[in-house]
């Protein structure tokens, strides 16, 4: 089957575009599941302490909690934590307590365990406090719904969705959060890197002319839970997949969505637009561990995507997680009057620089970014910016952009996994919900994907499975 049709169906309806969806959502948000709730003027003002709850106590979340307690404005305190694994609750609490002392006030009765623990942790907070959502992204819409109901400001990690149904839910929730005057930050920290802000301003002012090409690369060895071996006997299937979430598309969008989203985001920002379609290649190569055991994750080892913007401009992205190959983790833009290095290394490492030609050579360089003192940590910057908006009651809601770039990332991923050209509307309207009923999960729930007799999980089959990824 060719790529999903965008022709009207038998009823005469046409798949929803992102712009139409947001417009429709804005007009009906008062009639949504959250309607009928009070829409107060919610913020924490003056010198009031902002209480913080922390949902999903992994490594990234612990770093985010540390950023929350280190904001330059001060006045933050961690008062509740929640996870599904008791050992993570205890170890991350101990680490934060040791580092931040009295800023961490989370006694045993405010450390909550289980799939419903997010509710208990948020219920400790007052309206206008902050909740950190750093579980695998499949759970994001579930937790965000309760945060809005409770009138909480939110910091959520990226990506914020992994599939079309999740994207549609989160766009509605973004409007509900705006209606309640909640401030919501999304962990797309490139937007808070001061050198990238400087570069974006110059590119938008025409410093390199019209953009004609973008290139992004994240190529290195396997990291995080990119690879997984067959499940051991001492853990349930569901908990294994959640703990190894980078290996499972339903939980994280796989390595493509979780690893590559930052470059996709900041190149879209520089272009001031989003790609409208993608075609892609990818493959699984060496799926044996050094000990000869099979890797059973759902990821491709290599991805190569051609994104296309509405004006025909191309953005080429290459991703690779393989040992022994050339590493390249950077991004570039080419224009009619010059070129730029966007991220020199890593997701958004600086400095950024502009060149009068198309080759980034020292003699061609005409500008290099500078970072103000104390502004060189973009993880901390995004928290400072969020808390400043809360304290000053300024509009601050990054969810729509977070959903859009999450779906643009998934669009490239799906193009590689199906072997089809995928448009943004295809991705937004795709009906494959990868984890149905996730809001009702318990420890006894079956995992969204099941292993075969050899411990292997369903994997993408381009050209064979063409309307869903596995």
Domain 18-190+380-397 sits in which CATH superfamily?
Answer: NAD(P)-binding Rossmann-like Domain (3.40.50.720)
The per-residue pLDDT for 213 is 98
Q: CA of 259: how far to CAs of 303, 336, 413, in Å?
A: 12, 30, 12
Domain boundary assignment for the chain: 18-190+380-397, 191-376+408-429
The per-residue pLDDT for 430 is 97
Contact 422, 75 (CB under 8 A): no
SS3 labels along the chain: CCCCCCCCCCCCCCCCCHHHHHHHHHHHHHHCCCCCCCCCCCCCCCCCCEEEEEECCCHHHHHHHHHHCCCCCCCEEEEEEEECCHHHHHHHHHHHHHHHHHHECCCHHHEEECCCHHHHHHHCCCCCCEEEECCCHHHHHHHHHHHHHCCCEEEECCCCCCCHHHHHHHHHHHHHHHHCCCCEEECCHHHHCHHHHHHHHHHHCCCCCCEEEEEEEEEECCCCCCCCCCCCCCCCHHHHHHHCHHHCHHHHCHHHHHHHHHHHHHHHHHHCCCCCEEEEEEECCCCECCCCCECCCCCCCEEEEEEECCCCCEEEEEEEECCCCCCEEEEEEEECCEEEECCCECCCECCCEEECCCCCCHHHEEEECCCCCCCCCHHHHHHHHHHHHHHHCCCCECHHHHHHHHHHHHHHHHHHHHCCCEEHHHHHHCCCCCCCCHHHCCCCCCCCCCCCCCCCCCCCCCCCCCCCCC
73, with CB counted inside 10 A (0-12, 13-18, 19+), is middle
pTM reported for the whole predicted model: 0.91
Q: Do domains 18-190+380-397 and 191-376+408-429 have the same CATH topology?
A: no
Per-residue pLDDT of the chain (470 residues; tens, 9 = 90+): 333 333 333 334 456 775 665 566 554 444 444 444 444 444 444 448 999 999 999 999 999 999 999 999 999 999 999 999 999 999 999 999 999 999 999 999 999 999 999 999 999 999 999 999 999 999 999 999 999 999 999 999 999 999 999 999 999 999 999 999 999 999 999 999 999 999 999 999 999 999 999 999 999 999 999 999 999 999 999 999 999 999 999 999 999 999 999 999 999 999 999 999 999 999 999 888 888 899 999 999 999 999 999 999 999 999 999 999 999 999 999 999 999 999 999 999 999 999 999 999 889 999 999 999 999 999 999 999 999 999 999 999 999 999 999 999 999 999 999 999 999 999 999 999 999 999 999 999 999 999 999 999 999 999 999 999 99
364-409: pLDDT as tens digits: 999 999 999 999 999 999 999 999 999 999 999 999 999 999 999 9
The per-residue pLDDT for 48 is 87
Domain 191-376+408-429 adopts which CATH fold? Dihydrodipicolinate Reductase; domain 2 (3.30.360)
User: String of b and e for 89-115 (b: at least 16 CB within 10 Å)?
Assistant: beebbeebeeebeebbebeeebbbeeb
The per-residue pLDDT for 21 is 59
d(CA 149, CA 129): 13
Bridge partners (DSSP) of residue 314 are: 213, 308
339-359: pLDDT as tens digits: 999 999 999 999 999 999 999
Q: In what order do the strands lie in the sheet with 50-55?
A: 111-113, 76-83, 50-55, 130-133, 153-156, 184-186
Q: What are phi and psi of 368, to 5 degrees?
A: -135, 140
């Amino acid at each position: 089957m060719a790529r999903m049709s965008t022709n009207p169906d038998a009823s005469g309806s046409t798949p929803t575009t992102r712009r139409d969806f947001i417009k429709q959502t804005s007009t009906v948000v008062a009639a949504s599941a959250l309607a009928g709730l009070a829409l107060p003027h919610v913020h924490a003002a003056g010198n009031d302490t902002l209480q913080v709850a922390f949902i999903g106590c992994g490594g990234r979340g612990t770093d985010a909690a540390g950023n929350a307690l280190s904001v330059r404005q001060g006045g933050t305190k961690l008062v509740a934590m929640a996870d599904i694994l008791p050992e993570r609750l205890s170890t991350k609490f101990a680490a934060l307590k040791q580092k931040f002392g009295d800023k961490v006030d989370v006694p045993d009765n405010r450390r909550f365990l289980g799939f419903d623990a997010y509710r208990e942790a948020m219920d400790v907070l007052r309206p206008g406090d902050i909740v950190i959502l750093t579980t695998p992204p499949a759970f994001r819409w579930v937790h965000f719904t309760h945060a809005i109901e409770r009138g909480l400001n939110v910091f959520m990690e990226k990506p914020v969705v992994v599939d079309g149904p999740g994207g549609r839910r989160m766009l509605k929730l973004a409007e509900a959060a705006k209606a309640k005057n909640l401030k919501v930050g999304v962990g797309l920290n490139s937007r808070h890197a001061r050198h990238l802000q400087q570069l974006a301003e110059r590119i938008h002012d025409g410093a390199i002319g019209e953009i004609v090409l973008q290139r992004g690369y994240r190529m290195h060895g396997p990291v995080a839970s990119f690879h997984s071996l067959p499940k051991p006997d001492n853990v349930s299937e569901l908990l294994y997949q959640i703990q190894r979430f980078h290996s499972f598309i339903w939980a994280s969008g796989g390595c493509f969505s979780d690893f590559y989203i930052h470059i996709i985001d900041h190149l879209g920002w520089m272009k001031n637009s989003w790609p409208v379609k993608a075609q892609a290649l990818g493959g699984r190569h060496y799926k044996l561990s050094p000990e000869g055991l099979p890797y059973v994750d759902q990821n491709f080892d290599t991805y190569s995507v051609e994104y296309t913007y509405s004006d025909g401009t191309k953005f080429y992205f290459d991703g690779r997680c393989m040992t022994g190959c050339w590493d390249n983790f950077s991004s570039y833009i080419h224009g009619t009057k010059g070129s730029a290095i966007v991220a020199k290394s890593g997701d958004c490492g600086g400095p950024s620089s502009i060149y009068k030609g198309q080759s980034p050579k020292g003699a061609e360089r005409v500008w290099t970014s500078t970072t103000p003192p104390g502004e060189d940590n973009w993880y901390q910057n995004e928290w400072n910016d969020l808390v400043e908006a809360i304290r000053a009651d300024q509009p601050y809601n990054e969810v729509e952009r977070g959903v859009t770039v999450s779906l643009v990332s998934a669009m490239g991923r799906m193009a590689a996994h199906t072997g089809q050209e995928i448009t943004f509307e295809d991705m937004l309207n795709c009906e494959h919900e990868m984890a149905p009923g996730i809001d009702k999960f318990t420890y006894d729930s079956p995992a969204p994907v099941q292993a075969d007799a050899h411990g292997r999980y369903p994997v993408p089959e381009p050209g064979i499975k063409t309307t869903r990824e596995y």
